Structure 1
Amino acid sequence: MQFYSFFLSFFLSFFLSFFLSFFLSFFPFFFLSFFLSFFLSFFLSFFLSFFDIGQYLGEDLQVSGPANGAVGGSVVFAPDNPPSTSIDTVQWNFGSTPILTAQSDSTLIASAYRDRVSFDINTLALELRNLRLDDSGTYRLTVIPSAGDLLTGETSLQVFENITNVRLIGPEESLIEGESSANITSEGTGNITSVQWMKDISPLSPSNSIIFSSDYRSVSSSPVQRSDSGEYKCTYRNPVSYETAKISLIITYGPEDVSIKGQDVVDSGVRVSLSCSANSEPSASFSWKFNGADTDVTTDTFTIDQTDFTHSGDYICTASNSVTKRNASQKHALLVKGNIYNTQVKKWPTVWQVLQISLFIHEVTTVYQQFIMHL
């Protein structure tokens, strides 16, 4: 630091004296007066350079910062370049308010800080504990060496309240696609410097249907679409803390795209299943009609255990949504092939079978006649 002070004082005095010599050069004997004043100014500047103006300007101590702290927390201030020479006195001030004055053998702490600060004379580090909001401001370090220049440095502190009690308030009623509007409002306590919204795993950004309030504390969508379903997260932040709240939205819609899967043409005497599906939130309920008449089937599958000609006709599946109060239907035609009466082909009896039957009839007749005669 002495080296820089030397050249600073040298060049300041040199240029001041140079302008003086230039001014004197306008007097008679122009060149003689100019060069005399020039060399006089040079020696004057060289002489003044031995006076260290750093002692009047104060040299810099580099104190890291600015710093951020949380209410109730602690922070440490320390110079990055503590002086290597012996120190007579050290002072830490908050603005113009003294915090402590220290010498090699003693440290005097102001009563307002007595239970809240610690000081290390070796590193000049000041620890401030149990931070309060009114601790925000400028902190100044002053070092008076045993010999040499006055050294100063300063930094700043901003104290924040921790963010707590963050929550989201959303719609309580069911949200129907294309009809309903949704608004999510965030709340929380503490010093909030930024608000961030996410939907599922992606940042939530404004669009034609997504609108944020001016303070970014609430978001709305109107009318809602099924793509609005998902988990919404809001994060409150400041430099020392953050907290996130979540809420889920379910957008109801449908039913739509009703379809029936199953065979169109079957043989008689087989098992047939018709399966009905629909795109719906919440899941749709189902009912079936056969040839315009209601059935007792209320599942998504209509099953016929053994078909006959009476099962041919139109099967209608109706999907219903209990929230949207909407329904949609689909028809499926089924044709059962085969004999109308579904009878089996019978074979003619053999000669032996005919003889056995004849003998049986003869014996029965004989027994009956004998029974009658005894009466």
Structure 2
Amino acid sequence: MDQKTKEVYWRFNTTLLLMGTNLNASSIFNVEWCAQLNRSEEVSILTYSPSSKNIYINESYRKRVVFSHTNFSLTIHCVTFSDEGVYTLTIQLLDRQQQIDKSRVTVIIPVSNVHITRQTSAPHQGKNITLNCLGTEGNAISYSWQKCNQPLPIGNRTILSKDNASLTLINIQQSDIGNYRCVAQNVLSSGHKDFILQLCAETGVSPWWSYGIYGYPGYLGYAIVIFYIFSWVKRTRKSSSKGQSGTSTSTLPLNC
């Protein structure tokens, strides 16, 4: 009886374990492991007969595989991309029935060193910016974007490349300012990189009268300052005149 092909994702340069079966060895006539790698012709890895204990291992696999005589699992050491493909376990029973298990092996390198490249870090308002995300290590990577820890809304001013690795913001406005995160992931791992979008400050200098003072805008701020200065001068003069009148004395002749 046939079963669906199982998907197996395995880390690069580690030991791969392909599961066997829990059938009793006394009911089994023959066991065979085969591999069809990278769409090439199927190759026999090993055959085993429980009754005779005889085992044949393909010379190219002899130093890399370990076979279990109890559950018929197969272990392959130091898997690389050349080991990707479909592995088939065929068990021939004594009653001439067959049990076939298929596993499609995909070798994965974990994602690491995710970074974002761009032409500028602070574009001018109304301009465009493209953020390019890349995981320098890893394969079978999928990309997604977030803004302020929320899924990035896609609109008329947001364009993603076909693989989602590049994000372009059109006609940037104040509402676009914030933290953008690229998430790079595969079935075994994930990583991310953040980019804080800010707008470039305008280089033009405003006229001196437009700044204002003390929090009051433009002419109003300066008018208030002048008013307070005038009031202070007026109070100072009054205080000075009162002081002079209070300290004046008459000149009297002195008795000798």
TM-score w.r.t. length of structure 2? 0.74
Which structure is higher in helix share?
1
Classify the secondary structure of the residue corresponding to 2:175.
helix
Q: Which residue of the partner structure matches residue 254 of structure 2?
A: 362
1:97 to 43, 46, 61: 43
Match of 1:102, as an amino acid? Y
SS of equivalent to 1:227: helix
Amino acid at match of 1:143: I
Contact 1:171 1:182 in 2 (8 A): yes
2:158 corresponds to 1:217: no
Shift of 1:169: 0.5
- The CA distance in 2 between the partners of 1:286 and 1:362, in whole Å, is 71
How high is the sequence identity, in percent, across the aligned residues? 22
Amino acid at match of 2:159: I
1:78 to 2:24 alignment = no
CA positional deviation for 1:67: 1.2
The Cα shift of 1:110 comes to 1.4
Cα 1:149–1:248 change in 2 (3 A) is same
1:235 corresponds to which of 170, 183, 186: 183
The structural deviation recorded for 1:97 is 0.8
Per-residue CA distance 1:189-218 (angstroms, 9 max, x = gap): 543342111122011232121111233221
Q: CA RMSD in A?
A: 3.7
- Structure 1 position 125 matched with structure 2 position 21: no
* Structure 2: tracts of 5 or more residues without a match: 37-41
Q: Distance in 2 between matches of 1:212 and 1:170?
A: 14
> 1:134 is paired with a residue of what secondary structure?
helix
State how many pairs are aligned. Answer: 236
1:142–1:150 CA contact under 8 A, matched in 2: no
- The letter for the 2-side match of 1:219 is L
CA–CA distance in structure 2, aligned partners of residues 122 and 166 of structure 1: 44
Q: Where in structure 1 are there 5+ consecutive unaligned residues? A: 1-58, 256-284, 293-314, 320-327, 367-375
Distance 2:71 2:202 in 1: 71
2:39 corresponds in structure 1 to: none
> What secondary structure sits across from 2:82 in the alignment?
helix
Deviation, 1:151, is: 2.4
**Higher-Rg member (1/2):** 1
Whether the 8 Å contact between 2:48 and 2:55 is mirrored in structure 1 is yes
State yes or no: 1:87 paired with 2:28.
Answer: yes
Aligned to 1:153: 100
Shift of 1:99: 0.9
Deviation at 1:103, TM superposition (A): 3.3
Whole-angstrom distance in 1 between the partners of 2:4 and 2:23: 9
SS of the counterpart of 1:343?
Answer: helix
Amino acid at match of 2:97: L
Cα 1:84–1:342 change in 2 (3 A) is: farther
Which structure 2 residues correspond to residues 271-350 of structure 1 after superposition, within 5 A? 316-317=212-213, 329=218, 331-332=220-221, 333-334=223-224, 335-336=227-228, 337=231, 339=235, 341-343=237-239, 345=242
Residue aligning to 2:6: 65
Q: Distance in 2 between matches of 1:63 and 1:81?
A: 18
1:242-277 deviations in Å (ceiling 9; x for gaps): 33233222123579xxxxxxxxxxxxxxxxxxxxxx
Letter in 1 for 2:237: Y
> 1:153-192 alignment to 2 at 5 Å?
153-162=100-109, 163-172=111-120, 174-178=122-126, 180-189=127-136, 190-192=138-140
Call closer, same or farther: CA 1:80–1:233 in 2, change over 3 Å: farther
2-side partners of 1:158 and 1:150: how far apart? 26
Secondary structure of the residue aligned to 2:6 is coil
Structure 2 counterpart of 1:65, which letter?
K
Q: Distance in 1 between matches of 2:17 and 2:65?
A: 9
- 1:200 corresponds to 2:148: yes
Q: Residue 49 of structure 2 aligns to which amino acid in structure 1?
A: Q
CA–CA distance in 2 between the matches of 1:134 and 1:113?
13
Tell me, in whole angstroms, the C-alpha distance in 1 between the residues paired with 2:76 and 2:134. Answer: 31
